[in-house]
Structure 1
Amino acid sequence: MLNPKTFYNSRPDGFAVLEVVPDSAAQDAPRRFVPLRRTALTGTVTGPLATLSLSQTFSLEASAAVVEALYRFPLPGDAAVTGVRVQFGGVEIHTVLKERGRAEADYKEAKRAGRQAALLTRESPDVFTLAVAGIRAGQDVVVRTDYVQLARPDGAGWSLRVPLTTAPRYVRADEAGSPHAAGQPLAVLRDPGHRFALDLTFTGAERVASPTHALTVTGERATLRDGEVVPDRDCVVTWCAAAAEKRPALNVWAHAEAAGAEAYFLALCAPPKWANAKKVPREVILLVDHSGSMQGAKWEAADWAVERFLAGLSEHDSFALGLFHDRTKWLAERPRRATPDVVREAVAFLKANRDSGGTELGVALEQALDRPRAADTPARHVLILTDAEVSDAGRILRLADAESAKPDRRRVSVLCIDAAPNAALASELAERGGGVSRFLTSNPDEDDITTALDEVLADWSAPVLTGMTLEVNRTGVEAAGRSVALMAPGAVSAIDVGDLPAGRPVWVIGRAPRGGDPLTFRLRTGAEIVAELRTEPNTNIPGLKALFGADRMRRLEYVMTANYAGEDLRAELARLGYETTTGESKLYAENARDATVKVVRDLLVRESLAAGVPCSETALVAVRSEVGQPVTETRIVGNALPSGWSGPMSSGGGGGRAALFRKSFSAPSAPTVLRAGGDSDDEFDDDTGTDDEVDDAEFDSDVATDFDPLERQRGINISPSPGTPTGKSRKAPPPVAPIANRRSATGPPAPRSSVPSVGAIRISIAPRQHVPADGAALFDSASDDVGAFTFLSVAFADKAITADTLDPELTLLLFVGDLAAPRARVKLADVLRQGGRRPLNLRRNVGEPIRLTLEDPSGAWAGGVPVVEIVLG
């Protein structure tokens, strides 16, 4: 892929490109390159619906080669792809949706015959593979993927999450053959060489902004301020509706085709503004991810969040605490009352267990849902803190579905921490689990992750409205990801909306028979009707049908990977509205999986072709009619390493292709160069980083299978660190800016070493030094130190000042660089409650000023700040 003798892929001034090696080339032959130059997202956002187009531009330097390019890229997991257009120079060809086997055969034949062609396949709900055959020198190739996506409610406004890179995901040994296990990046590079651009138009919106990327907003148009950026994190855009448009408790959009018998609807359900729900006793199970991929700032912030959350529980609440990686450790077998002694014991347990391993989220969740239930608890929850980088989504969602059917169910919420998280799984899990999902970045150049977690937990623990339902005046109503019950008397369907935190709206997308009367929607909490409206479907929102169809297919794909078989499979398909014969259950897992795939595949193909949206069993293919030259070389395009990942990396899994995954995902080594036939002219070091040599024949056999573009390839290639030697036998290179850790050795997470540590800043406040206290600048500096702040500590001279005696609204505001907006907000009472110290995750660059101020809205310290020492370390 990359030539380590010529290019340093991790250098910021380097230019990363993909290397072309002809079949008969010697190692020192002249080299040619195929870069993916840029990816651009354009489109319009109207209300909650985004109609988008992702353009990927490829080009080839002067060469006689005819190249096939392979690129595995992410799309939002809840998006619906509506078409792909491919432009070879001045000629544009359009794709046709076909059954996957037929589409692959058409593409292979076109490639063999020398026709330019493109194929788009879906590996997992949020990962697609693009194959483009016939790239020639001097001719730009532009692939445009059109899709629709639904914005999510975000406070009083909306947010849109656009994934830009695919992070490696932990694969269990028994998941190696699962279709979703194929949703791995083909290659992971610190800098993949290609860049991302954004150009969106918003209708009826104001205050368009992004917490992840700097924007330039001109009128209704929003672009990236820097023009193009490295695609190493999700791009999140937020906005509010125009001031004249107020969000009601219930809002519905409906669409029906002119001659269609069904209407598709999208309902926004929000807690009523008049609601003052009382805080109810809770039973909360906390599941904390201690896997290797959480190391560093994510780990520290997650542990802080747990400590802070436990400190906020009352003795009327119960909780259980589980820490998971390869195995799950529990504080106790049963939930316990949150007395001060039990909370202290839980914090000690959290700090004492610092070992790490793989991400066995499903195993931990199953254990959590099996915990005995506390008696007389109205609200039961599981709160998961994780990056969700796993591939066994089918079984995890099956657990959530089974739990949602219980009368004393636990609702599942997810706090997902990463720059490029598995957002599709986290959102789906929370939706099916009746909870909420929130996403936080771990990038030290952005807001402090611990501050963001503080705000999320404050919102999550707010008073809730329980047991909300959305009633529709039809029988046979279907709702994506939600259970529907028929109410008696009358022809009314009730959709479970779940528990709503105050101010937290949710979406319901569904399908209902049209009938003669207008559709009537009623939002209810218990016996109280919150809102009611009637609507007639219109014909100008076709994206609703595509989104509903995509959700139906996504649910079937999860069934395929959830280990359903026999009668269980038949019952689950019946619950989704499908009547079919499934046959007898199989004894062995391989046979059971094959039988399930056989049953579900036909349903998937039927739904996909009806909705016009690709799934894992269909594909979009386009073939140019003119005959050209056969493909001589196949190249893969790399994904960017997600921001915040560091350390050596490996993955779980069994033998065969999983073994290749482990080899290629361990110590950095010289790159693998693939020829058109799939052979390799290099090999990987083993996990130990010694001089052990990999057997050529065995390795080449694995690569030849795994890198067939039309096979479900599960291997991953990692680019070399600078200075990696080449040759048959190599030592592991020195640890220069190491790549992310998916499974670390036993022990606490290693500190991030990519930036130097700043010397500690000690701020000593003398008596009556700051009067009045509110807005006081406790520290102001513009020194040239560069590095990262990792903690803040507070110590008062007066030992009578405790967390209980402090005003809970006293807050330290830390500014780094931009003195208009704080990068961290630190509640003093929370810091004292956790022993006087809390983590930070902020980077400070050359010349950026640092300012620490005090926020005292109630005037608790109007007479002056007491004697205190604050340390920024």
Structure 2
Amino acid sequence: MRPLFLISRLSVNYIGKLLCFGLLFVVYASITTAFASPSGYQDDDITQGTLEYFQQNQVIQAFALDTQVSMDVSGLLNRVTVKQVFINDSDQWVNGRYLFPLPETAAVDSMKLRIGDKVIAGQIQPKKQALQTFETAKKQGKQASLLQQQRRNLFTSDVANLGPHEQLVVEISYQQKVEYRDGVFSLRFPLAITPRYNPQAESTTEQPQLAMPSSANTTTVKHVRPELDVKMQVNIDAGFELTSLDSLYHPIKQSNVGNHYSVNFASKQIADRDFVLQWQANVGAVPQAATFYQTGKTHVKNNSIEREQTALRQPNPVDNNMYSLLMLMPPSVEVSEQHLIARELILVIDTSGSMSGQSITQAKQALQFALAGLRDIDSFNIIEFNSDVTLLSATPLPANSRNIGKANRFIQSLEADGGTEMRSALQTALVDSVQQDSDQTDTRSDMLRQVIFMTDGAVGNEHELYQLINDQLGASRLFTVGIGSAPNSDFMRRAATMGRGTFTYIGNESEVQQKIEQLLNKIEQPVLTNIGLYYLDGSVPDYWPTTISDLYQNEPLWVSIKSASHQQQPIIVSGNINGQYWQQQLDFEENQAAKGIDLLWANAQITSLELYKDNASRDRVNKQVEALGLLYHLVTSQTSLVAVDVTPVNPLIDNPIDVQLQPHMPHGLNAAQSSQVLPQTGTASRLWLLIGFSLLGLGLLHYLWLRQRLPGQLLVIESHD
């Protein structure tokens, strides 16, 4: 018997395979980390800014964009005009595309194309027809512009045949309400877009697709991140003296003459975070109810040419309807301790890659303040999600010091990475986390179940999530908290509406404590429930939204109404306050004349129709939305505005250059400076790295074992003669 120190050919092959597989996994993980876009993001997702292209191995800046925003606030209404100045600094004829955000509540009704001294008004057309009109003009060498809605808060502006060293102005206008809650007036203008994550799994729910003009002759481009020049002018006619006027995230200059206030950016601003302006008045200066009206439509047809009319000065002779906007502040209600209802608070936090940087810091602070606001009678749970879903506990925990300490340690360990698989998190929050033992049923059946969902909303499968909320909400209430400098507020506001809750926006760490405490105090108990409207004679007006969410403390009721001008009569608003029937009569004695009220009514109807659209109703809803868009001259998911100059100007129509404009990443978001994708958002790169290094380690250990390099090891292979 003699020891032999041998390495067989089989062992060598085995080691080689382990090392090869390990290296493959590591290389694959590195590639997917560097190019995280394909699995989670699409090439046509969300861009804005300026662009350079290659010509003869030289980088040439082809396009620049100057954005000018003007707002005119009158009482509770805001008329906004956005001018996009496209500048072609090259020697080439170019076609340009700019994808940009607007407020999700904006009723976009006007687009004008300015070429030198010429002004061409946009015509409303069905979406496919408008796209064809634009494509035809582009091929004929005509200058044209096209405005399309891609999401409720995302629009594309396309221009065709912009000549060398020429500039072209696209002027867009929209109507919206001023936000009013907790005694604070506010308006918000989005200036950046967080890239959206699209789950890899196939969905049966139709998702909106970006409808883009063709780019068959597109030249290879290099995206850059310039300082996008944005100018902001806000004029406020509040109707009363303001006690404060503040911009939350941008430095401003302000002045006033009496009750008229003017606000401008103090300096050039980069479009990397939303602009939010807030103002307050003395207590008692703000009315508890307000109504605005307009007779006839804003836009009328005359000789087949769309032109904007002021309905107050020149009413539409065909449409004699009266359009009204109603704002009513329900009475304040003090909830005594004996009437407080125990609640089960489910806190959901998004820890995907898009939440990296300041967003995850704000969200973790928000969770901690939410825990601090729990009462002894409450229970809670925490759900964190990215590519996977993790729960603090399998069942909700009593709100005692031991469990809150455990939860705070859980929060401290959270990091932002991975994909935004929101569907699994929502399903867990609305269904899975309510699983309970039979002996807990009686204890928790009387609890008010509330889900607070903290995220930037950077997802592309919104309609699938709306359907999930509608199907599985049950008795829960869903409250959304927008985190970061540019959250997807359209998704979050609509999700909260379907969830019978509210939407809160947090854009800075200094706001976290105040806004979370306000939210928790507000949602202790709804103030007004089962809200309805009817005329004094018992008939029901044509009002939107038809389903009105519960109102919480210091939140107003907003309703848009259409009625025949000869049938004006008082309206009764009714509901329940603390289980008691309540009603208030509005006589419209102090009706205020205003412009654009019809646009708000039509936009509210479109929003309601699309909110509950499913596979069965899709075709019907799309036809209704198209009809409303054409009738009220609104840009919708089914209608677009197109403007074409009749004179061909481009002699080189066979060789244009198509360019797309590139964005700043939202302020505070950690992302590679050379890419527009989020860190590891759409990939399982950490898993592949772990597998790869594990295989490399196993191969190395096996090799060392065979070579007797491990401590205390002796390899003895006996040979029998």
- Indicate the percent of aligned positions where both proteins have the same amino acid: 22
TM-score of the pair, normalised by structure 1: 0.62
Q: Which aligned pairs between 1:457-472 and structure 2 lie closer than 5 A?
A: 457=519, 459-460=521-522, 464-465=526-527, 467=529, 469-472=531-534
- Larger C-alpha radius of gyration, 1 or 2? 2
> Pick from 224, 231, 255: which aligns with 1:197?
231
Matching residue's letter, 1:235: F
Task: Describe how 1:228-247 pairs up with structure 2 within 5 A.
Answer: 228-241=268-281, 245-247=285-287
How far apart, CA to CA, are the structure 2 residues paired with 1:470 and 1:53?
Answer: 35
- Paired residue for 2:190? 163
Counting only pairs closer than 5 Å after superposition, residues 160-309 of structure 1 correspond to structure 2 as: 160-173=187-200, 174=202, 178-180=206-208, 182=210, 191-203=225-237, 204=239, 206=242, 207-219=244-256, 220-241=260-281, 245-248=285-288, 250-257=289-296, 260=319, 263-273=322-332, 275-276=334-335, 278=337, 279-309=340-370
2:56 alignment partner AA: A
Residues 1:82 and 1:478: Cα distance change in structure 2 (over 3 Å): same
Checking the alignment, whether the CA contact within 8 Å between 2:378 and 2:398 is kept in structure 1 is yes
Any unmatched runs of 5+ in structure 1?
1-15, 484-495, 571-595, 649-666, 670-716, 719-738, 749-873
Asked whether the equivalents of residues 292 and 593 of structure 2 are also in contact (C-alpha less than 8 Å), the reply is no
Q: How does 1:422-821 map to 2 (within 5 A)?
A: 422-442=488-508, 448=510, 450-457=512-519, 459-460=521-522, 464-465=526-527, 467=529, 469-473=531-535, 475-477=539-541, 479-481=543-545, 483=547, 496-500=548-552, 502-511=553-562, 516=567, 518-524=569-575, 525=577, 526-529=579-582, 531-535=584-588, 540-559=593-612, 564-565=614-615, 569-570=616-617, 596=618, 598-629=619-650, 630-631=652-653, 632-648=656-672, 668=674, 742-743=681-682
- One-letter amino acid of the counterpart of residue 170, structure 1: Y
Q: Describe the superposition over 1:187-233 as per-residue Cα deviations: whole angstroms up to 9, x where unpaired.
A: 99774332111112111252332111112111134333434311111
Q: Please state which structure has a larger fraction of its residues in helix.
A: 2
Closer/same/farther in 2, CA of residues 226 and 137 from structure 1, 3 Å limit: farther
Q: Is the 8 A contact 2:351 2:414 kept in 1?
A: no
In the alignment, is residue 33 of structure 1 matched against residue 95 of structure 2?
no
Aligned to 2:125: 98
Match of 2:98 in 1: 71
The residue matched to 1:498 in structure 2 has which SS? coil
If the length of structure 2 is used for normalisation, what is the TM-score? Answer: 0.74
Whether 1:18 aligns to 2:18 is: no
Q: Is the alpha carbon distance of 1:117 and 1:225 closer, same or farther for their aligned partners in structure 2, counting shifts above 3 Å?
A: closer
Change (3 A) 1:743 1:452: farther
Residue 72 of structure 1 deviates from its aligned partner by 0.4
Q: Which residue of 2 aligns with 1:849?
A: none
Higher mean C-alpha displacement, 291-300 vs 252-261: 252-261
1:364 counterpart SS class: helix
Query: Take 1:240 and 1:623, find their aligned partners in 2: how far apart are those partners?
Result: 44
- What is the distance in 1 between the residues matched to 2:429 and 2:543? 27
Residue identity opposite 1:26 in structure 2:
Q
Mind listing any 5+ residue stretches in structure 2 that lack a counterpart? 1-48, 216-220, 297-314, 435-440, 688-721
Do the aligned partners of 2:362 and 2:483 also contact (CA within 8 Å) in 1? no
Aligned residues: 588
Q: Name the residue aligned to 1:686.
A: none
Query: Could you say what secondary structure the match of 1:368 adopts?
Result: helix
- Indicate conservation of the 8 Å contact 1:62/1:137, yes or no: yes
Question: CA 1:157 to 1:247, structure 2 compared with 1: closer, same or farther past 3 Å?
Answer: farther
- 2:144/2:644 contact within 8 Å kept: yes
CA 213–95 in structure 1, closer or farther in 2 if over 3 Å, else same: same
With over 3 angstroms needed to count, the CA separation of the structure-2 counterparts of 1:32 and 1:421, relative to structure 1, is closer
Give secondary structure in 2 for the equivalent of 1:149.
strand
Q: Which residue number corresponds to residue 477 of structure 2?
A: 411
Cα distance 1:138–1:269, how it changes in 2: closer, same or farther (>3 A)?
same
Q: Which one of the candidate residues 80, 85, 95 is aligned to 1:57?
A: 85
Partner amino acid, structure 2, of 1:253: F
Give 1:164 shift.
1.0
Deviation at 1:645, TM superposition (A): 0.7
Measure the CA separation in 1 of the matches of 2:454 and 2:56.
50
Structure 1 635/239 Cα, relative in aligned 2: closer, same or farther at 3 Å?
same
Q: Is the 1:256–1:537 contact (alpha carbons within 8 Å) kept by the matching residues of 2?
A: no
Asked if the contact 1:385–1:417 (Cα under 8 Å) also holds between the matched residues in 2, the reply is: yes
CA contact (8 A) 2:95 2:657 kept: yes
Query: Offset of 1:516 from its aligned partner?
Result: 3.3
1:343 equivalenced with 2:404 (yes/no):
yes
Q: CA RMSD in A?
A: 3.4
Given that 1:69 and 1:636 are in contact with CA atoms closer than 8 Å, whether structure 2 keeps it comes out as yes
C-alpha separation between the residues in 1 aligned to 2:467 and 2:228? 38
Aligned residue identity for 2:71? G
Post-superposition offset of 1:273: 3.7
Bigger drift between 293-302 and 97-106 goes to 293-302
Q: Could you give the per-residue CA deviations for residues 285-339 of structure 1, whole angstroms, max 9, x where no partner exists?
A: 2111111112233223322322332233223223232111222222344434323
Cα contact 1:70–1:635 (8 A) shared by 2: yes
Deviation, 1:41, is: 0.8
The C-alpha deviation readout for 1:805-838, integer Å capped at 9, x for no partner, is xxxxxxxxxxxxxxxxxxxxxxxxxxxxxxxxxx
Which residue identity does 1:284 align to in structure 2?
A: L
Q: Which has the higher contact order (CA 8 A, sep 6+)?
A: 2
Output one character per residue of 1:547-583: Cα deviation in whole Å (capped at 9) or x when no partner.
23223334444555xxx33xxx24xxxxxxxxxxxxx
Query: Any idea what SS the aligned residue of 1:616 has?
Result: coil
Rounded to whole Å, the distance in 2 between the matches of 1:26 and 1:127 is 35
State the alpha-carbon separation in 2 of the partners of residues 607 and 324 from structure 1.
Answer: 39
